[in-house]
Amino acid sequence: MVMFETDFNLHNSLKQLIKEFMETIPTKAMIMCLLNSNYKVIYKHGELKGFDSAFNFGECLATKRFNGVDLSGVLRCKTQTKEVFVHDNRRYVLAVAPVLSTDGKLAAIIMCICRETEYSEEIFGAMKIMSKTVIKEVIDIQKRLLNNYEQAIIKTISDGFMAVDKDGIIRFLNDKAFEILGVGPEAIGKNLREITEFEPELFEVLKTGKGWIDKEFIIDMKSKKNIHLLKTAIPVLDESGKVAAVIDTFREIKSVRNLVNKMTGARACFTFDDIIYKSAAMDEVVKFARKIAKSESSVLIQGESGTGKELFAHAIHNSSNRRCGPFITIDCSTIPHDLVESELFGYVEGAFTGARRGGRPGKFELANGGTIFLDEIGEMSPEIQKKFLRVLQNRTVTRIGDHVPIPIDIRVIAATNRNLEEEVKERNFREDLFYRLNVINLHIPPLCERKEDIIPTALYFVSKIGEKTGKADAIIDEGTQKYLMNYSWPGNVRELKNVIERGLNIMEGKCLKPEHLPKRITEHAEENSRAGINLVNQKSEFNDISRLSLEELEKKKIFETLKLYNWNRKKTAEALGIARSTLYEKIKKYGINV
Ligand SMILES: Nc1ncnc2c1ncn2[C@@H]1O[C@H](COP(=O)(O)OP(=O)(O)OP(=O)(O)O)[C@@H](O)[C@H]1O
């Protein structure tokens, strides 16, 4: 861009000068033109009989000859020259003044052709002045431009910027570099070794001329310890190809991570406003979660699959003081066993004097300054549980292959649909880890225990999912609502969401009807009514919800087992592990039609 502007300025200035000069010349028998560095005529002033028509300087000069005059010498020597030549039995003077840029390259050519009788040394002198004046002017512009650009770039880049000369003397530091390295302007002029606690690898670059791009370092400065950086070092060579300086740009890894998190979506998307409920049970859970969101303590969220554990984890993070930090999710059930360690703790590539070069950070490091959400924590292997406990105790992680702990500042939210207390009893889950995680416990009740939430949540999904398909104002008819209420929702809110999405996809009008529901829901309701279970009409949902739901579950279990064993009571009693007489009593109690 700078070059383009420079050429543009150069050519414009030259055109102007040629024009002004030609206007002062009384003779008409003269042409002065400007050629670019590819020998193409870009400007022509004046007239010369016999040369005007079909006169193509570009072509002539492409062969570096003009009317038999060999110009290659002039252009090669890059000095101003003139020759006399004959055209149509007349003698002409051809004068050429190359315009050279600062690095000695051909930037343009001023060329003049005139009858020998019209020629004067002033013309030649003027051409010389033109080429010199302009180039000086342009160089000044170029310098000014470059200076402005450089300053603007260096000032505005969010990276630290350091220039070190061939002896390792710091020649330049920008404001960001002062901030990151914890040094002041007095560092300029000092040897790099004086401000670091190790032999800086930049000396290697000065020695070998080999730089690097985006390498990770943890460095200790005299003024500041443990700076975790991503660095790029570019050697600057002099004319003879020797390393004259190194330009070192760097940024703090936390800012790199913030950027990565932003780009890769390692953010919590939901807030408490996204949690839909009407039930008193859920109201209590949400109120409690809002209260503990600001705390720094670990949270263990328990609940069946699809009840919204992840949703709560997002909402807690977004209401916490860490909301601007990363939110990193680890699904402990899906990371391949042999990758768990490197995923969680990261690894190093190799170590070298003073500074440590990193391989890849683990999820704990990525979560630094934010929240780590460990989903399905119950699936974590005992070996990893042990290592994880150490991270929580020491608040540091050590990358695989390294021995230096990296301090981390994270809040842990874990979730499971297992009964973790039972897992502890069964020795599948470490007790010490359980207590560390279970500082705050949140239990999300299954959807079947909070029937008042079914319809509001279903309507919410209609408007949310319907937005994309133009069915946001669809209604759920009464019959459909009854089916939804009578179903037991083993997949909880996730299942409800899927059912609504499916229904919206297959329905044609504006009303979600029973035929738009999956068979398992309508059949289930019919079975329930055959079993004498009518969940919708149960009046006392509020009075003693836990007792009623237990009974309801028992009734359902007996009905399903009877159905499974083709209404054979002996087999059913055996399968349920109860006496046949007890089974008869229950069938009678619950009014099941067998
Ligand atoms: N109360 C709610 N209001 C609105 N949407 C909800 C609610 N509860 C759950 N959802 C939605 O249901 C789906 C499942 O929720 P989520 O993934 O949080 O459940 P989970 O308990 O973490 O499931 P799993 O144990 O299988 O990981 C998500 O799309 C979520 O947004």
| CA of 277 relative to ligand 1 center, distance in Å | 12
| CA of 390 relative to ligand 1 center, distance in Å | 30
CB 82 less than 6 A from any atom of ligand 1: no
258 versus 279: the higher-pLDDT residue is 279
Q: Which of 335, 325, 326, 329 is nearest to 313 (CA)?
A: 329
Going from the N-terminus, what domains does the chain have, and what CATH number goes with each? 2-152 (3.30.450.40), 160-256 (3.30.450.20), 265-353+361-445 (3.40.50.300), 448-537 (1.10.8.60), 542-594 (1.10.10.60)
Q: Which helix (H) or strand (E) holds 215?
A: strand 212-219
pTM of the predicted model over 0.80 = no
Split at pLDDT 50, 70, 90, the class of 584 is: confident
Q: Residue whose CA is closest, atom 23 of ligand 1?
A: 306
Q: Residue whose CA is closest, atom 25 of ligand 1?
A: 305
**In this prediction, does ipTM exceed 0.90?**
yes
Q: Residue whose CA is closest, atom 8 of ligand 1?
A: 308
Question: What sign does the CA torsion over 446, 448, 453, 454 have?
Answer: positive
Mean pLDDT of all residues belonging to the chain:
82
Split at pLDDT 50, 70, 90, the class of 96 is: confident
| CA of 312 relative to ligand 1 center, distance in Å | 8
171 versus 142: the higher-pLDDT residue is 171
Does 112 have pLDDT greater than 50? Answer: yes
Place of tokens 């949540």: 457
What pLDDT does residue 529 have? 62
Residue 246 three-state SS: strand
Does 10 have pLDDT greater than 80? Answer: no
What pLDDT does residue 62 have? 58
What pLDDT does residue 506 have? 92
CB 200 less than 6 A from any atom of ligand 1: no
| CA of 529 relative to ligand 1 center, distance in Å | 29
Question: How much is the average pLDDT of 111-119?
Answer: 86
Q: What percent of the chain has pLDDT over 90?
A: 30
Residue 73 three-state SS: helix
pLDDT tens for residues 369-412?
Answer: 899 999 999 988 888 888 889 999 999 998 888 787 888 999 99
What pLDDT does residue 53 have? 47
CB 275 less than 6 A from any atom of ligand 1: yes
Of the ranges 100-114, 483-497, 526-540, 560-574, the best mean pLDDT one: 483-497
Distance between CA atoms of residues 379 and 485, nearest Å: 32
CB 464 less than 6 A from any atom of ligand 1: no
Lowest mean pLDDT among 109-123, 333-347, 494-508, 528-542: 528-542
What pLDDT does residue 277 have? 95
Split at pLDDT 50, 70, 90, the class of 24 is: confident
Distance between CA atoms of residues 348 and 342, nearest Å: 10
DSSP classification of residue 368: T
Q: Residue whose CA is closest, atom 24 of ligand 1?
A: 305
Residue 366 three-state SS: helix
Does 3 have pLDDT greater than 70? Answer: no
| CA of 405 relative to ligand 1 center, distance in Å | 36
Q: Which atom of ligand 1 is nearest to the CA of 314?
A: 18
CB 64 less than 6 A from any atom of ligand 1: no
CB 502 less than 6 A from any atom of ligand 1: no
Q: Is 593 exposed, middle or buried (0-12, 13-18, 19+ CB in 10 A)?
A: exposed
Q: Residue whose CA is closest, atom 5 of ligand 1?
A: 275
